[in-house]
Structure 1
Amino acid sequence: MKKLRSKWGRWEWMIGIVLIISLYWWSIRGIPLVPIQKSAGQVSASILHGMFNPDWSYIYNGSGEDLVSQLVITLAIAFLGTFISAIISVPFSFLAAQTNSRWFHPRATIGKLLLTAIRAFPEVILAIMFIKAVGPGSFAGVLAVGFHSVGMLGKLFSESIEAMDHRAELAIKATGGTKLQRFWLATLPAILPAFLSATLYRFEISVRSASILGIVGAGGVGTPLMFALQTRDWSKTGVILLGIVLMVILIDGLSSYLRRRLH
């Protein structure tokens, strides 16, 4: 029996390797290989030249259209979208959390399918849809980030609920505690750090997303970046890219620090 298992184990590795190689080969053959345009090198060199020679006057000029103002708007879009989605995600997470060991849980299955359906829409597509509904601007960006974040945060929150330690809750129940007391004294303290950590992590992702949504008209720093690229204003493109990189680095560092303090 052990010999059969060892032989089957070797075959499993070989079958897995063959499947992976076949998948890569199929993926590569499905990509149409087109020649690189002759202007690609010139454009890349121009962007690099713009990054090393940025238009410093665009950083702040008090017009409300400068880089600092656009970065603040981008952060506001990411913060509002994440904050709203964190609140809305809580009931969805309890709906999707499977709290017993049965292989099929109707409530949790419905909740998980609903969150999966929400996550299926990319943020750019959501931004275009909301622009058609409420018009171009930051509000459409907030709605796009918030709607997509509900699906992701709901999934992370539900997994935190499923992984929580129920011993404190059972102890309060054994002493005659009510459901409200069990939730307030045991469940909430157990899941709150994980909820806050997931929300901070999602905020990091939302900042990156909000930086891009302006390209389709959903507000933020993506809008001037699109205009700078279209007009081949490489110096302005360079300073905008530098601003985005610096903002993302600062937000990532701050978020990582806060998440370490929560654990």
Structure 2
Amino acid sequence: MNTKIKKYLPALIVLAIIVYSAVGLDYSEAKNISFPMIQSVIVGLFQPDWSFVYDGSGEDLVSLLLLTIGIAFLGTFIATFLAIPFTLLSAKNLWKSTGIVAKIGKFILNVLRAFPELVYAIIFVKMVGPGAFAGVLAIGAHQIGMLGKLYTEEMEGMDEKLVESMDAVGANFWQTMFFTRLPQLMPTYISLALNHFEIAVRSAATLGLVGAGGIGAPMIFAIQSRAWDKVGIILVGIIITVFVIDAVTGYIRKKLQ
């Protein structure tokens, strides 16, 4: 194959995919665009309903955002610890003689993270009923797969010199794990967990759409009733919440470096 063709082949493939995707879309609904509706949406979003911020009912913006943060925190907290056993199962450097075990562990993690939180939320709402508990389970199940994958990659990529030194003085597997591997990896693991907590807050904000608690339920009701001023204040609350959490977790991650 010509050298120039090889050089530009990846870019040509990407371009072909973009063109195929654009051509394959159905644009027939574009004729239904209503500019007065767009105007009313934009005007409503920029005139937020400040009375919804807090009224003491437990169904106001502040209360529901705190519930959303709680769902994200508890789900990530559970996943942070449950991902470690899956990491021990999936890291190939821990199973040098029986590589099939690591492959099975990675397959399980692939399955867990294959489904988005919204799908898990629908399943858990049917299993345990609507509410925040279903949201916690949905976040936790998905985050186990995500954090487990990242933890495994860090475990497989760590410096093995200290481990070899421990082996040389007769340390067993668990001594090596608790006194060498985990202390070396723990700052990175905590940083990854904090990063996924931020992601979980964004995800938890939508889980209420299917009855899994949080701010999503009033947001979808407001959209359905075209109460754009209420949608506007909810979006403002989500943006501020995500910004504050990002700043706090970013500060903690810097301290861990």
TM-score class, shorter-chain normalisation, is over 0.9
Distance 1:51 1:17 in 2: 39
**Structure 2 partner of 1:224:** 218
The answer to whether the aligner puts 1:156 opposite 2:140 as a matched pair is no
- Greater CA deviation, 228-237 or 238-247? 228-237
Distance 2:204 2:213 in 1: 8
> What amino acid does structure 2 have at the position aligned with 1:252?
D
**Structure 2 partner of 1:236:** 230
Conservation of the 8 A alpha-carbon contact between 2:208 and 2:216: yes
The answer to whether the aligner puts 1:51 opposite 2:45 as a matched pair is yes
* CA apart distance, 1:40: 4.2
**Structure 2 partner of 1:89:** 83
* CA apart distance, 1:37: 5.3
**Structure 2 partner of 1:261:** 255
Tell me the C-alpha RMSD between the 2 structures.
Answer: 2.1
Corresponding residue to 1:119 among 113, 117, 130: 113
Q: Deviations over 1:74-115 (max 9, x none)?
A: 00110011011111111101111111797x921111111111
Alignment of 1:66-215 (within 5 A): 66-99=60-93, 105-215=99-209
Distance 2:198 2:37 in 1: 30
Q: Quick one: structure 1 residues 194 and 71, their matched pair in 2 at CA, closer, same or farther if it must change by over 3 Å?
A: same
TM-score of the pair, normalised by structure 1: 0.91
Count of residues in correspondence between the two structures: 257
* CA apart distance, 1:36: 2.6
Report the identity percentage: 43
* CA apart distance, 1:39: 5.3
Distance 2:113 2:178 in 1: 30
> What amino acid does structure 1 have at the position aligned with 2:37?
V
* CA apart distance, 1:247: 0.6
TM-score of the pair, normalised by structure 2: 0.93
Corresponding residue to 1:11 among 5, 24, 31: 5
Q: Quick one: structure 1 residues 253 and 42, their matched pair in 2 at CA, closer, same or farther if it must change by over 3 Å?
A: farther
- Greater CA deviation, 68-77 or 227-236? 227-236
Conservation of the 8 A alpha-carbon contact between 2:88 and 2:94: no
- Greater CA deviation, 173-182 or 161-170? 173-182
- Greater CA deviation, 168-177 or 107-116? 168-177
**Structure 2 partner of 1:4:** none
Conservation of the 8 A alpha-carbon contact between 1:51 and 1:242: no
Conservation of the 8 A alpha-carbon contact between 2:205 and 2:216: yes
**Structure 2 partner of 1:25:** 19
Q: Quick one: structure 1 residues 58 and 86, their matched pair in 2 at CA, closer, same or farther if it must change by over 3 Å?
A: same
Consecutive unaligned residues of structure 2, counting only runs of 5 or more, are none
* CA apart distance, 1:34: 2.5
Distance 1:40 1:206 in 2: 34
> What amino acid does structure 1 have at the position aligned with 2:180?
A
Conservation of the 8 A alpha-carbon contact between 1:48 and 1:238: no
- Greater CA deviation, 104-113 or 198-207? 104-113
> What amino acid does structure 2 have at the position aligned with 1:222?
G
Q: Deviations over 1:52-87 (max 9, x none)?
A: 221111101100000000000000110011011111
What SS does the corresponding residue of 1:36 show, helix, strand or coil? helix
What SS does the corresponding residue of 2:255 show, helix, strand or coil? helix
- Greater CA deviation, 119-128 or 218-227? 119-128
